[in-house]
Amino acid sequence: MKPMPTLNRFQRGLSIIELMIALLLGSLLTVGMVQIFTSNSQAFQMSEAIARSQEYGRIASEMLSREVRGAGYYGCNGQNVASNLAVEEGDANWDLYDYAGGPAVSSLDQWRPAAAIDGTDILHFSGMESSGIEIYTDQPPTAASTHVTSRSGRGPASELSDGDIIAITDCQGTDVVQISNIQGDGEDLEVTLVTNSGGGASKVPGNDFSDNVCSNTGNAGAGNNCLSNDYGIGAQILKPYKRTYFIGPSSVRGEEPALKMVEYKGASSTTFEVVEGVIDLQVRYGLSSGPEQAVSNWKDADNMQTSDWGLVRSARVSLLVRGGPDNLFDDKATVCFPAWTDCSAGDNYTATDNRMYRVYSFTTNVRNKSS
C-alpha cells in the first residue's frame, strides 16, 4: 500500500517580512487611534472649559446685577423710613441694625470679610425684600400686634421667627421693628406678630417707640407702642437684609478662589459659597450730583470717599473667571482685566497657569437710588 503523503510540505507560516508589515500596519493603526483619542479628549476638555467658564460668568453676573438693581429698596415710600429698634448711631453693632437708609451699595472696609483675597474688591448690599406676607385686618394705632397672612400659601410663622427684624410698609412709609413673639404656629395662614417695646436679653436690640406719636391721641412716648404710621389691610411685611459678596478660598475645591457671600442676620452672620471659578472681582461706581441726574463721574472702589457713597447711582463690575484643567493650553492666557482698562497696547493680565481665562463685565443702575 502506498503511504499517505505527509501534510508538512503543504503548510506555510508567516515570513519575517510579512510579520514586520503586519506589525507596522498595527502600529500605524494604534498611533492613529491614540491621536484621535487625544484629539477628542482635548476637544472635550476645551468644550467643558468653555461651558464652565460661561456658566460661572453668567451666574455670577446675573446674581450680582440683580443685587445692584434691588439694593436700597425701603418700601413704596423709601423717603419715610422709621427705625424703631433700640439702637443708636455709635452703639455696638450699629451698622448691623441701621435699616433707616445708608449706602445701598458699597465696598466699605468695615464689611470686608477677613477671608477676602487681597487685591480683590467686595460688594456690600443693604435694603429690604418682600416676604410675601401682608396685613389682613386694620389695627388700632396703639396696638403692638399686627395681624398678617401670607400670599404664598405657607404660614407666616414658617417664614418668620421670634426675634426677627421686619419692616411694615405701605406708601405712607415704613416702620422697622423686631418681633417679640408670634401668636400662631407654622401651619396657621393667619398669625399675630407682637412687637412690644423693650426686648430683654433674648431680643437684641429690642424696640423703642418713644419717638412716635400715636395718631389717635397725639401723644408721644405714651407707652402705647405706636408705630410712626397707621397701617391697614394690604400693607406689606418686608425683610431687611445686609449681604456682602467677596472672593475667598473655596470651601469645596480646596484653596481655589470662588465668589462667596456673607449674609447678616442681626449680630450673627453666615457665609455661603455661591459660584466657583470666579477668581477676581473689581468694581467701579458711577456718581451723580442727585437722584434724577445722569452719572457724571466714575470712581474705582479704592478711590471712593465717605461722602461719595450717597451719590452712587450705578455700578460697573468686572469678573475674572477661569475653567478647565491646568494643562489646557501650551501657553498662559492673557486678558484685559478689569474690562474698563485701556488695553490698546496689549492685554494687561497674564495668567499664572495654563487654564482658560475669561472676563465678564456689566453695568447696572441702582434703581432705588436713582429716582
- How crowded is residue 177: how many other Cβ atoms within 10 Å of its Cβ? 27
What pLDDT is recorded for position 61? Answer: 97
Among 196, 199, 227, CA closest to 211:
227
What pLDDT is recorded for position 11? Answer: 55
What pLDDT is recorded for position 341? Answer: 95
What pLDDT is recorded for position 152? Answer: 80
DSSP 339-365: TTS--TTS--EE-SSSSEEEEEEEEEE
Q: Report the range of poorest mean pLDDT among 57-71, 125-139, 168-182, 196-210.
A: 196-210
Q: How far apart are CA 65 and CA 193, in angstroms?
A: 33
Look at residue 345 and tell me whether its pLDDT is greater than 90.
yes
What pLDDT is recorded for position 327? Answer: 82
Give residue 226's Cα distance to chain centre. Answer: 36
Cell numbers given for 26: 498595527
What pLDDT is recorded for position 3? Answer: 60
- How crowded is residue 134: how many other Cβ atoms within 10 Å of its Cβ? 20
Q: Report the range of poorest mean pLDDT among 66-75, 79-88, 199-208.
A: 199-208
Confidence of residue 279 (pLDDT cuts 50, 70, 90): very high
What pLDDT is recorded for position 220? Answer: 66
What pLDDT is recorded for position 7? Answer: 54
What pLDDT is recorded for position 218? Answer: 66
Question: Are the C-beta atoms of 100 and 79 separated by less than 8 Å?
Answer: no
Rounded average pLDDT over 70-89 = 89
Q: How far apart are CA 241 and CA 59, in angstroms?
A: 21
pLDDT in tens, 226-238: 888 889 899 999 9
Model confidence, pTM: 0.85
What pLDDT is recorded for position 5? Answer: 58
Cell numbers given for 251: 470651601
- For residue 205, cis peptide bond before it (omega within 30 degrees of 0): yes
Q: Nearest 5 degrees, angle CA 219-CA 221-CA 224?
A: 85
Q: Is the dihedral of CA 24, 25, 31, 35 positive or negative?
A: positive
Confidence of residue 288 (pLDDT cuts 50, 70, 90): very high
pLDDT in tens, 301-323: 999 999 999 999 999 999 999 98
pLDDT in tens, 7-27: 555 556 667 877 788 777 777
Better pLDDT: 291 or 70: 70
pLDDT in tens, 244-274: 999 999 988 777 999 999 999 888 899 999 9
Confidence of residue 139 (pLDDT cuts 50, 70, 90): confident
pLDDT in tens, 23-70: 777 777 887 777 776 666 666 667 787 888 899 999 999 999 999 999
Cell numbers given for 142: 396703639
Mean of the per-residue pLDDT values for the chain? 87
